[in-house]
Structure 1
Amino acid sequence: MPEPGPSPRQSSLPAAAVHFGTHGHGRGIEAFGGGRPALPSAPAPSARPLPSAPALFSAPTLTPLPVPAEVAVPTTVPVPEPTPALRRILRGPSGLGTAGLYPTRGEEASAPSESAPAGHPIPGLLYHPVPEPDPVRVEEVGRRIKAWAVDEVELFPADWEDQFDGFSLGRYMVACHPDAPTVDHVMIATRLMAAENALDDCYCEDHGGSPVGLGGRLLLAHTALDPLHTTPEYQPAWAESLHCDAPRRGYRSAMEYFVREASPSQADRYRHDMARLHLGYLAEAAWAQTDYVPEVWEYLAMRQFNNFRPCPTITDAVGGYELPADLHAQPALQRVIALAGNATTIVNDLYSYTKELAAPGLHLNLPVVIAERENLSARDAYLKAVEVHNDLMRSFEGAAADLAAQLPDPSLLRFLRGVAAWVDGNHYWHQTNTYRYSLPDFW
């Protein structure tokens, strides 16, 4: 089976891009006009280690990595029997020899495999089971991320070690990025995830966080991602500030590694999505300061910003290729990415529900907001939140399938599969992380 070559750095959008919008109905595999396009051959992938001591915001490496064989799209595949559009397009072909192409997708939604992982999925939740992530890679990512957190950036004090270990970052990121060609590439996402969570804990949540003064802290931390351009007199003070607390140390170092492997476009895309995240933090903090419980639609608007979006949006960088900027900017793809972030974040609301109830004060999550605003019992509000998640998942999958049918660009198809894999891996981690999460007794 030939391997696809690297995705192009620039693209000229196919004519189909002019005609599609942000909504529509999936057309199925027949929209490809005789199957997926043939892709050029490329040499077998090779590992490219990251530098041990990257320079601050140094120029990125622009040479794309070859695509690993296990996620290659075949040049000729049998057309499956008609099934829903998402299964045909996102999961790919189901004929002989194609089972290994999409390692993160189970055969049926909401049907655990015989070797189901620890932890119970939420009854009635729409999700796709995934195989257990490679234990060797999980262990290595876990070892490296702890070494980075402890030795390079001093991300947490010694008495947080059990919580850091219990987060299981290695298992999380390996499950979310099954097409990453090397451990080094998984580490790009893992450092960023660790840094984001450290900032959330230290600035916003129960490890010293507070809504008071949050805007100033977030803005200064954001300059570790989006560097300050100032006068020679004041630049040294800013540079020194990037080492003054754990969130800024984490952001600075994780971004250094990222920009060494990402293109300028990918790095700017990430900065934009982190600004969205910080805006969501500020909205939630403002409501906390005024004791305001938002309307359900207002809460969902906040969660579209305060969500996981920065993680799946870099799936191409972690996979060693680039989705061209003109494709990424298409409104239809922006809708797909937004829906993926929204669905995965409601997963977090649902699995962390009992954990947040046990924390001091009122912690906003979707079941709590539904109960308050729609005058429902805790149980009924939680079950309704499950249905909100399922509606978001159906919208995400339908929008992704429709976009893939209308614009079957090879790099776009791979990106859509990567986002879907992230959605599935995110659920897997929440379901199996029994150190952090337990389900309410509503069934």
Structure 2
Amino acid sequence: MPDPGPSPLRSSLPGPPARIGAPGHARGGDAAAVEARPAPPSVPALPSVPAPPSVPAPPSVPALPSVPVLHRTPAPTPTAPTPTAPAPRPALERILGGPSGLGTAGLHPARRPARPALPEPEGAAAVPAAAGGRPVPGLYHHPVPEPDPVRVAEVSRRIKRWAVDEVQAYPPEWEDQFDGFSVGRYMVACHPDAPSVEHLMIATRLMVAENVVDDCYCEDHGGSPVGLGGRLLLAHTALDPLHTTREYQPAWAESLLADPARRSYGSAMGYFLQAATPAQADRYRHDMARLHLGYLAEAAWTQTEYTPEVWEYLSMRQFNNFRPCPTITDTVGGYELPADLHALPAMQRVIALAGNATTLANDLYSYTKELKAPGKHMNLPVVIAEKEGISDKEGYLKAVEVHNELMHAFEAESAALATAVPDPRVLRFLKGVAAWVDGNHYWHMSNTYRYSLPDFW
């Protein structure tokens, strides 16, 4: 299979980046005053993170710590280059710029404008160097440049401080696993258009919170399919708050401190709401409900020892997948894809294909890791091999083909949407989703602390 070339989406996007509105924050680019949008509606007050388990939680319910409010400037309509010959698909060319995938030479990383360097943080957390790794042979993907090491270091430092000090997301004995996850490098790679570290932290907190819920409720660290529905529903109220009577509201608010999962969800969502519009917040809640539904389907199959048909497994994976992460790419980028454009069936198909393809990449890279775990762990290669009566190697290689077909569909549908709806906000969002797809693959490929490939070649 020919190399699809470097990631096409590491270029500057239309318009100046959104700026942090807090006084004294360093600003780049145009120094014109930016009108702050109204603050989002107030969030139900949460208690501060409780003391260690031996100390009872305080009875009062103080508000969350204040979070810097992120302000936006509308993205101006970019001026399209004048073609030297008739171009029947100008919107498509703005994204593609070449024959292989969602952009090539016209958006080559080498043409990305230099970003002002961040100051080296004091006492920055040690960041594992990119190990390089190797891609799954035959897997269709776009290579990406190494993420900015200064940003990686600063995001890594801040997220560890948040996880340890603000929400007590993990005990000391999990520290090596937290560091090995390399979430700073992950998020910097996935969001190359983020205007600042503050914007990157929005995605990083939510990513860590989602993984805390997965680990503590579902899998690695005490998770179980038994009773999962009740735990997920109560955790979901940290994202989509309970509206109840005065008598019962304090008990609910105190419950948000009950475990690392709910503390992480509540805090991460509080920061997100300071940056997101109401429509963006509602979109994220909807996608998290999808995720939780997927968790429950997989848990039900585990409890009943049911191995789904391949199409059934793929249905579950459309819900239990990465979709909540790329769907917030506009919030992290400091702009908004309006709700009517986000709701277009063609846009929903693009987002679904992106989530499906990236999640199957996770199935392929985590295959060896999951085989070493106790019990039977369902992933696409395992399900294909069992249901179609073929060898483990054949099942794995067919899963690669499924991933590749979804990737090609994602790119084709993105190009078609860019042609049909040449709105600059749509084009920018499509670029952001594609950048997230590429960054997600980069992280899986390079994270040799967590993943290794099977010996099938």
TM-score band, normalised by shorter chain: 0.7 to 0.9
Q: Helix, strand or coil for the counterpart of 1:88? A: coil
Which of 386, 396, 400 is residue 382 of structure 1 equivalent to?
A: 396
1:43 to 30, 54, 59: 30
CA contact (8 A) 2:229 2:296 kept: yes
Aligned positions of 1:38-77 closer than 5 A = 43=30, 55-56=63-64, 63-65=71-73, 74-77=78-81
Task: State the shift of 1:100 in Å.
Answer: 1.8
| Aligned counterparts, 1:15-26, within 5 A | none
Q: Give the whole-Å Cα distance in 2 for the aligned partners of 1:97 and 1:77.
A: 19
Check the 8 A contact 2:318/2:356 in 1, yes or no.
yes
Tell me the equivalent position of 2:383: 369
Conserved 8 A contact 2:17-2:195: no
Shift of 1:56: 4.8
Report SS of the residue matched to 2:112: helix
Unaligned runs of 5+ in 1: 8-41, 104-115
Whether the 8 Å CA contact 2:14–2:424 is kept in 1: the answer is no
Report matched runs for 1:347-358 at 5 Å.
347-358=361-372
Q: How far apart are residue 206 of structure 1 and its match?
A: 1.9
Q: Which residues in structure 2 correspond to 1:308-347 (within 5 Å)?
A: 308-347=322-361
The separation in 1 between residues aligned to 2:111 and 2:284, in whole angstroms, is: 32
Q: 1:350 to 1:270 in 2, by over 3 A?
A: same
CA 1:44 to 1:409, structure 2 compared with 1: closer, same or farther past 3 Å?
farther
Structure 2 CA distance for aligned equivalents of residues 138 and 55 of structure 1: 30
**Identity score, percent:** 70
Please list the CA deviations of residues 301-324 of structure 1 after superposition, one character each: whole Å capped at 9, or x if unmatched.
Answer: 000000000000000000000000
What value does the CA root-mean-square deviation take over the aligned residues?
Answer: 3.2
Distance 1:400 1:137, change over 3 A: same
Partner-residue secondary structure (3-state), 2:96: helix
Q: Which residue of 2 aligns with 1:223?
A: 237
Q: Quick one: which of 172, 181, 196 aligns to 2:195?
A: 181
- Alpha carbons 1:79, 1:95 under 8 Å: kept: no
The 1:3–1:139 alpha-carbon spacing in structure 2 relative to 1, beyond 3 Å, is: same
Which residue identity lines up with residue 219 of structure 1 in the other structure? L
What is the rounded CA distance, in whole Å, between the counterparts of 1:75 and 1:404 in structure 2?
Answer: 16
With a CA cutoff of 8 Å and minimum separation of 6, indicate the structure with the bigger relative contact order: 1
- Kindly state the Cα deviation for residue 216 of structure 1 after the two structures are TM-superposed: 0.1
Residues 334/291 of structure 1: CA separation in 2 closer, same or farther (3 Å cut): same
From 220, 224, 242, the counterpart of 2:256 = 242
Deviation at 1:94, TM superposition (A): 2.2
Q: Hey, what's the Cα distance between the residues in 1 that align with 2:235 and 2:109?
A: 48
Q: Map residues 30-429 of structure 1 onto 2, 5 A cutoff.
A: 43=30, 55-56=63-64, 63-65=71-73, 74-77=78-81, 79=83, 87-88=96-97, 90-91=102-103, 94=106, 99-100=111-112, 118-429=132-443
Partner of 1:21: none
Aligned length: 390
C-alpha deviation, 1:97, in angstroms: 11
Shift of 1:64: 1.6
TM-score when normalising by structure 1: 0.82
User: What is the CA-CA distance between 1:98 and the residue it aligns to?
Assistant: 8.8
